């Protein structure tokens, strides 16, 4: 076979198996997708109406608890939604305080998440290429994941202090395992047929890693990133809640408002923390759609 007629490895994969699978899956994909020419309002309704209905139900339950379940003297425990919004987001001084805490939490959570991604993916690649290291390291990584983070936070404070660095360490400890586990699973889940095809073309180990294993592992990797995104926010808030040093973050504000029994500000802080977790999750979902969505349904 001449070089002109020889197909590249990706083309061979596509023509040998993937096209057959795509042909068989095409009717199901067409059945699930909206037909061409679907009005914009139907697309909008499919994406927005469902979550909005659930939101209305949740707000209704919130009002019911505030005005029906709770005695008027105890409504400070769960103030009404309009009280939370007016106090936390329309009072200038309180809003500035929350936004400053949000900024500190975002910086620490994103820094910890970036370190977790770099470290977790690197360790997963090493374990996937060296079975001895996987058998030696993985049990201890599981043990580290099962230790309650609240038991480690005081030790972290004793060892490295109670500042910004300690919060990042907590973020890494709580978010790195899903990245390692999902990446390792993805790296080990590629088809043996593709492995044999690459071996037939005498592709080296590292080129196989870059051209085959990492692309095939991308969906699992981004699933781990999305899980770790929310965990990094939780880790930062837990660290800030206990360390109480340096700039005030959302965790420190939660502790302060709890001590003051300031219900509206406490709920406002919880809303901001949840919004941050959702925003980071959505960021990685969007990146995943761009990176993976072009070739994997």
pLDDT digits (tens, 9 = 90+) for 241-287: 888 777 788 999 999 998 888 999 999 999 999 999 999 998 988 88
Helices (H), the chain: 9-13, 19-32, 40-44, 50-64, 81-89, 92-129, 131-146, 149-160, 164-187, 192-200, 205-208, 214-243, 250-260, 263-291
169-187 mean pLDDT: 91
Predicted confidence (pLDDT) at residue 91 exceeds the cutoff of 60: yes
Domains of the chain: 80-291 (1.10.3720.10)
Under 8 Å between Cβ of 269 and 101 = yes
pLDDT band at 82 (very low <50, low <70, confident <90, very high): very high
**Percentage of residues of the chain with pLDDT beyond 90:** 38
**What's the chain's average pLDDT?**
81
> Please, is 95 exposed, middle or buried when counting C-beta atoms within 10 Å of its C-beta (0-12, 13-18, 19+)?
middle
Question: How many C-alpha atoms does 211 have within 13 Å on its Cβ side?
Answer: 18
Q: What is the pLDDT of residue 35?
A: 56
Under 8 Å between Cβ of 166 and 112 = no
Residue bearing the bigger pLDDT, 71 or 49: 71
Q: At what angle do helices 214-243 and 149-160 cross, to 10 degrees?
A: 70
Q: What is the pLDDT of residue 66?
A: 93
Q: What is the pLDDT of residue 58?
A: 93
pLDDT digits (tens, 9 = 90+) for 121-131: 999 999 888 88
pLDDT digits (tens, 9 = 90+) for 195-238: 666 666 666 677 777 777 788 888 889 999 999 998 999 999 98
Q: At what angle do helices 92-129 and 214-243 cross, to 10 degrees?
A: 140
Residue environment code for 225-246, b if the CB has 16+ CB neighbours within 10 A, otherwise e: bbbbbbbbbbbbbbbbbbbeeb
Alpha-carbon gap, residue 160 to 106, rounded angstroms: 21
Alpha-carbon gap, residue 188 to 268, rounded angstroms: 43
> What pTM value is reported for the model?
0.76
Q: Which two tokens stand for residue 194?
A: 């593709």
Helix, coil or strand: residue 201: coil
pLDDT digits (tens, 9 = 90+) for 141-166: 888 888 888 888 888 888 888 888 88
When computed from its CA atoms, the radius of gyration of the chain, rounded to whole angstroms, is 25
- Which residues have a Cβ under 8 Å from the Cβ of 265 and sit 6 or more positions away? 87, 88, 94, 98, 253, 257
Q: What is the pLDDT of residue 182?
A: 92
Q: Output the CA torsion sign for 245, 248, 254, 258.
A: positive
pLDDT digits (tens, 9 = 90+) for 14-42: 444 444 444 444 444 444 445 555 676 67
Nearest CA-CA partner of 124 in 45, 236, 221, 48: 221
In angstroms, what CA-CA distances link 113 with 119, 171, 281? 10, 7, 11
Q: What is the pLDDT of residue 22?
A: 42
Nearest CA-CA partner of 123 in 45, 183, 47: 183
Q: What is the DSSP string of 212-274?
A: IIHHHHHHHHHHHHHHHHHHHHHHHHHHHHHH--SS--HHHHHHHHHHHT-HHHHHHHHHHHH
């Amino acid at each position: 076979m001449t070089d002109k007629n020889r197909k590249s490895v990706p083309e061979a994969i596509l023509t040998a198996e993937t096209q057959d699978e795509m042909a068989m899956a095409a009717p199901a994909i067409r059945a699930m997708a909206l037909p061409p020419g679907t009005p914009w309002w139907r697309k909008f309704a499919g994406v927005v109406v469902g979550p909005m209905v659930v939101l209305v139900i949740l707000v209704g339950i919130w009002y019911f608890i505030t005005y029906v379940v709770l005695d008027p003297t105890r409504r400070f425990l769960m103030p009404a939604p309009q009280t939370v919004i007016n106090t936390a987001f329309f009072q200038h001084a309180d809003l500035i305080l929350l936004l400053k805490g949000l900024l500190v939490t975002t910086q620490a959570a994103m820094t910890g998440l970036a370190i977790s991604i770099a470290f977790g993916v690197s360790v997963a690649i090493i374990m996937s290429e060296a079975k001895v290291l996987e058998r030696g390291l993985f049990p201890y990584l599981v043990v580290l994941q099962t230790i309650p983070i609240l038991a480690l936070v005081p030790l972290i404070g004793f060892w490295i202090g109670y500042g910004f660095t300690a919060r990042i360490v907590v973020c890494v400890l709580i978010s790195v395992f899903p990245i390692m586990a999902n990446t390792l699973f993805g790296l080990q889940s590629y088809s043996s047929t593709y492995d044999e095809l690459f071996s037939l073309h005498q592709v080296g180990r590292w080129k196989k890693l870059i051209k085959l294993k990492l692309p095939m592992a991308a969906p699992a990797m981004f699933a781990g990133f999305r899980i770790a995104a929310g965990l990094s926010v939780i880790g930062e808030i837990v660290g800030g809640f206990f360390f109480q040093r340096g700039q005030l973050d959302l965790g420190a504000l939660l502790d302060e408002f709890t001590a003051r029994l300031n219900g509206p500000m406490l709920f406002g802080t919880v809303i901001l923390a949840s919004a941050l977790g959702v925003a980071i999750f959505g960021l990685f979902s969007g990146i995943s759609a761009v990176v993976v969505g072009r070739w994997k349904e």
